[in-house]
Amino acid sequence: MAIEICTTCDHSWDAARRPMCPNCQTQHWQSLPNLLRPKHDPNQIQPLKVFRTVVPYDFPASASVYLWHVAANGSAFVSLRNRDYFEFAQVGPQMSSGSTVAPGSTTPTTPHDGFVIVQAHQPKAHIFAQDLGVIQQRVAEGKYLPLQSCVVRGCPNLRVPPGDRCVEHSNPPLARGPI
Ligand SMILES: [Zn+2]
Ligand SMILES: [Zn+2]
C-alpha cells in the first residue's frame, strides 16, 4: 500500500496499484471529445472491411461509470512496439461488456470481457473493447510490459507516463503522502 492524496481533488488512493488519481483521471477522460471514436460507437455502426469492437450501448449515457471502473481498477501497460501507455480493465459487476462487429456487419456479436483505453495519457486517448486473454498473451510474448515503478529508490508507486516518477515525486507533485 502506498496511499497518496491528490493535490487537485483530495481523493486518496493506492498509487502502487494505480499511477494517477482515479477521480481526476476519470474527469480527464470524460472531458476528451474523441474518447469514443465513431468506429467503436455502437450507436453509429457503419459496415467496415475489418473486425472492430464497440463499447456497450449505454456507454455514452454512463461514461463516468465505465471510466471510473478503468481508472480505479485497471492495469497499466506499455506497448513496446509504439511505446504507448494504455489501461486495461475487465468488465466489472453490474457492467455491460463491449462486442465484436464482423467485417461488413452492423451488428455487435461476440462479447468481450474488458475495456482498453489506449494513448491513455494523451489527448488522443480512446476506448474500445478487448479481452483479458489477448492482453495476457501479449504480455507473455513480451510485447506488453506492466507499467514500471517510480525511479526514486524505494518508492513503491507506479510512475506517471510518459515520465519515470510517481505522482508524489513528479515536479510539481501531483499528490502527497498522508501526514
Ligand atoms: Zn484527484
Ligand atoms: Zn515515487
For the stretch 117-163, pLDDT in tens is: 999 988 899 999 999 999 999 999 999 999 999 999 999 999 999 89
Distance 42 CA to ligand 1 centre (A): 30
Nearest Cα neighbor of 107 from 38, 63, 52, 34 is: 52
Q: 14 C-alpha vs ligand 2 centroid, how far in Å?
A: 12
Distance CA 11, CA 68 (A): 13
DSSP letters along 55-112, please?
--TTTTTTHHHHHHHHHHH-EEEEETTT--EEEEEEPPTT----EEE-TT--SEEEE-
Distance 67 CA to ligand 2 centre (A): 25
- Residue 80 confidence (pLDDT): 93
Question: How far does the centroid of ligand 1 lie from the alpha carbon of residue 112, in Å?
Answer: 30
pLDDT by residue (tens digit) across 60-114?
999 999 999 999 999 999 999 988 999 999 998 889 999 999 999 999 999 999 9
At 39-75, the pLDDT tens digits run 999 998 888 898 899 999 999 999 999 999 999 999 9
142 vs 82, 99, 146, 148, 149, CA distance in Å? Answer: 13, 26, 10, 14, 18
The pair phi, psi for residue 158, each rounded to 5°, is: -70, 150
Ligand 1 centre to CA of 19 (Å) is 12
Strands 144-146 and 75-79: antiparallel
Q: Give the global pTM.
A: 0.94
Copy the grid coordinates of residue 88: 486495461
